[in-house]
Amino acid sequence: MKANLSALQQLAKTKNWTTPELARRLKVDYSYLFRIMRGEKRGGAKLWSGIYFLCKKEGLSIEDYIFLDEE
């Protein structure tokens, strides 16, 4: 799996959330999210869980925020 970073950034922009606020809502450390956004990390279970619960809470489609690897 891979996070759709542009969709996450667009969500934050639409909701007027800063990156630290997005990290808080995803329930991950800001430094962890920052490294993911810069392409230094791919993200793991914490990020996937955070995206899942944020999508449920906000009524969003999780498929818009996660790419499934086709391998």
User: 1-41: per-residue pLDDT in tens?
Assistant: 889 999 999 999 999 999 999 999 999 999 999 999 998 98
How many domains does one find in the chain? 1
In a domain, 68, yes or no: no
In a domain, 18, yes or no: yes
In a domain, 25, yes or no: yes
In a domain, 7, yes or no: yes
How many other CB atoms sit within 10 Å of the CB of residue 23? 22
Candidates 12, 6, 2; CA nearest to 54 is 12
In a domain, 11, yes or no: yes
**For residue 70, what pLDDT is reported?**
55
Domain CATH for 27: 1.10.260.40
pTM: 0.87
Domain span including residue 45: 2-62
